[in-house]
Structure formats: C-alpha cells, structure tokens
Amino acid sequence: MLSDPTRLRLLALSAEEELSVGELADLLAEPQPNVSRHAAPLRQAGLLADRRQGTRTLVRLANGAETDPVVLDALATGRRLCAQDGSLDRIAEVVAHRDAKAREFFAQPIPIEIGVSPELPTYLFALAGLIGPRELAVDAGTGDGMLLDLLAPLYGRVVAIDRSPAQLARARQRVLAHGYHNVELIEDQIGGEEVMNAIGIGADLVVATRVLHHAPRPRTTMQELFALARPGGKVLVIDYVRYEDERFQEQQADVWMGFSPLELAGHAEAAGLVDVSVAELPAGFVRVGPDAHLGWQSLLGTRPANSAKHLAHHQEQS
C-alpha cells in the first residue's frame, strides 16, 4: 500500500495541512478521481481521516498515525518526494488561494447606511460576561465598522483592523458620522507589524465578528487574536454554527461553512486561551441580511495572566 510514490506524497501533504481532494489534485498534478482512488486504501487502513464540508472532502493524516514506525518512514520518504517536486512549498500558495474569492467579495463597492447596528442585541449578549478594564479594545476584521457603535462608547481607545481598503473606507464613514475620536483604523493583517505596534502590551478585549469562517487557517487566526490580547485580557469570537447552505457559501465567499462548538473551542484552546466558553446565540434575536437564517455562536476566552508570548513578540518588533 505504501510502495506507490503518489500515495507517499499524498500522505505527506495531508500531514502538513488539512486539504481538500481538489487541492491535493492540484498539488499532486493528478485528476481528482485518481486522488480519491489513492486515498481510499489509506483511509481504510486508518492512516487518513476525512470530513465533508458541503461538496468538498477534506483530508488529513489520522491522529496517532505517525506513531507507527512504518508510517513514520513513509512520511519521511513522501516529504522528500514532495520537496523534490515542489509540492511541499506550494501548500502555502494553495491555502492562500482559499480566501482569494473572499478578498474579491469584500472589495466590491456597497452603499452604506449609517445607523445603529441591527445586530446590536447579538453583540450585547456575547459581551454580557465581560468584566474588567476598558482601556483598549481591538476590532479584528472590522469590515464596515458596525461593531464600533458598541465598542467606541465603552472603551477609552479602539483599534479597528481590516485588510480591505474598501471596507475601511466604509468604517471611516461610520467613524466620521458618529464622531468616534477614540477609534484608530489600520489597514493590515490581524497579526501585522503596524497592528502589534499600535496595541502596545495588548488589549483588554479582542473581538473577531464573522471573521474566522473567512480564514484559510482558522487555528492560526485564533493564535493571532490571542497575541493581540494583554495577559489577562479577553478574546471574543462571534461566528456561524456549522451550516449546509452551499449557495450562501458561494455567494458570501466563505472558506468554511461555520464551525461546531467543539471545533471553535478546540481552536481557542490550541491557541492558549483558558476558561473558554461557547454559547449559541438565541434565534429570537433580530438579525437581518443574507445570513439571518444561520445559527450564530459566541466564544469567550482569557489569555493567561502569566503569558509572556505577546510581550516577547512586541519587544522583537520594537
């Protein structure tokens, strides 16, 4: 079973990143049916695990598979083959392509109406457990700045981040219309150097609203959110419960069709957050827009008070 070079490469790539069959076909330069055919015996042997995401099948190395010395040797051989053909280096390119449609979607000009956010009850519910200092809040992925209507009146200073100039232009309209003098808008990635310099030792609260399902690597994004919080600070994530509406996914350029509560909590705990709690938001709250039919959930976690990861990173940047 492990004598075929294509299977060895498939095994190695799946160990590096959870990839769809289509992405594996691109990396392996093989038709998708061939990839599925090669993956089948590996799955039956318990070496590969897969899960469905709409019409996509995502494949990864099964937990514990690498403890087998034969599999470990096969992975080493597969990595050498992938390094030789360049597919190992192309994984980052394939993952980055996941959010190309999302970038295009958010760059489209959309008229904005300045007013109180209709989702305000949702945000208030998610923030109900927040107790502590209110010096600095970070809105990671601010979009058109809707959450600023809540954060700006509550916090002494708010840093709002987005990588889309078009989205930041809409947020700037909101800031000017409401006179939020304590809001700083930054065009950057969530973990970018300009952002890290702006927040100093970290924020009391870091909020990411409907951001994670657009992230090519949700766990990496959760780690970046962790790094924005000060020791003892809170990280709040609001995102979709896992859904099956593929038409909506296509229209909104979602990379992921929501998350199960266990997945969301797993990403947070892997990033280092403690006291993690996940709650599904009541369906009776008024929501408008194309995603009103989806389930929403909130995650709240704390960066440990003795954590020095962000402080060390900030010193390196300085």
Looking at the structure, tell me whether residues 176 and 225 fall in a common domain: yes
Looking at the structure, tell me whether residues 277 and 182 fall in a common domain: yes
Looking at the structure, tell me whether residues 213 and 126 fall in a common domain: yes
**307 pLDDT more than 80:** no
The closest alpha carbon to 173, from 115, 120, 114, belongs to: 114
**315 pLDDT more than 60:** no
How far is residue 93's CA from residue 82's CA, in Å, rounded to a whole number? 14
Position with higher pLDDT, 286 vs 143: 143
pLDDT of residue 119: 73
**139 pLDDT more than 70:** yes
Looking at the structure, tell me whether residues 171 and 312 fall in a common domain: yes
User: 242 — phi, psi (to 5°)?
Assistant: -55, 135
Percent of the chain beyond pLDDT 90? 72
Q: How does pLDDT run across 22-75, given as a tens digit for each residue?
A: 999 999 999 999 999 999 999 999 999 999 988 889 999 999 998 999 999 999
Q: Whole-model pTM?
A: 0.76
* CATH number for position 90: 1.10.10.10
Spatial CB neighbours of 16, under 8 Å, sequence gap ≥ 6:
88, 91
Please state which of the ranges 121-125, 136-140, 215-219, 259-263 shows the lowest mean pLDDT. Answer: 121-125
How far is residue 227's CA from residue 202's CA, in Å, rounded to a whole number? 8
Percent of the chain beyond pLDDT 70? 91
Q: Is 253 helix (H, G, I), strand (E, B) or coil?
A: coil
Looking at the structure, tell me whether residues 88 and 113 fall in a common domain: no
Looking at the structure, tell me whether residues 90 and 115 fall in a common domain: no
The closest alpha carbon to 76, from 151, 9, 125, belongs to: 9
Looking at the structure, tell me whether residues 221 and 122 fall in a common domain: yes
Region 162-188: what's the mean pLDDT? 94
Q: How many domains does the chain have?
A: 2
Domain boundary among 48, 72, 97: 97
pLDDT of residue 117: 67
- Quickly tell me which residue has 């939020």 as its tokens: 180
Please state, rounded to an integer, the average pLDDT across all residues of the chain.
89
Q: Is the dihedral of CA 39, 42, 46, 47 positive or negative?
A: negative
Domain boundary among 97, 130, 152: 97
**Burial level of 187, CB count in 10 A (0-12/13-18/19+)?**
middle
pLDDT of residue 318: 40
Domain boundary among 97, 116, 147: 97
The closest alpha carbon to 221, from 232, 202, 205, 237, belongs to: 237
> How many residues are listed for the chain in this entry?
318
**131 pLDDT more than 90:** no
Looking at the structure, tell me whether residues 83 and 144 fall in a common domain: no
What DSSP element (H or E) covers 206? strand 203-209
DSSP 140-179: ET-TTTTTHHHHHHHSSEEEEEES-HHHHHHHHHHHHHHT
For Cα atoms 122, 125, 129, give the angle at the middle one, nearest 5 degrees.
Answer: 145
How far is residue 92's CA from residue 98's CA, in Å, rounded to a whole number? 10
Sheet containing strand 48-53, edge to edge, reads 19-20, 56-61, 48-53
Looking at the structure, tell me whether residues 246 and 117 fall in a common domain: yes
What residues make up the domain containing 164? 106-317
Q: Is 64 helix (H, G, I), strand (E, B) or coil?
A: coil
Q: How does pLDDT run across 72-94, given as a tens digit for each residue?
A: 999 999 999 999 999 999 999 99
Looking at the structure, tell me whether residues 139 and 224 fall in a common domain: yes
pLDDT of residue 99: 84
User: 211 — phi, psi (to 5°)?
Assistant: -110, -40
**201 pLDDT more than 70:** yes
Looking at the structure, tell me whether residues 298 and 157 fall in a common domain: yes
Q: How does pLDDT run across 263-278, given as a tens digit for each residue?
A: 999 999 999 999 999 9
* CATH number for position 121: 3.40.50.150
The closest alpha carbon to 293, from 227, 252, 243, belongs to: 243
Looking at the structure, tell me whether residues 183 and 137 fall in a common domain: yes
pLDDT band at 311 (very low <50, low <70, confident <90, very high): very low
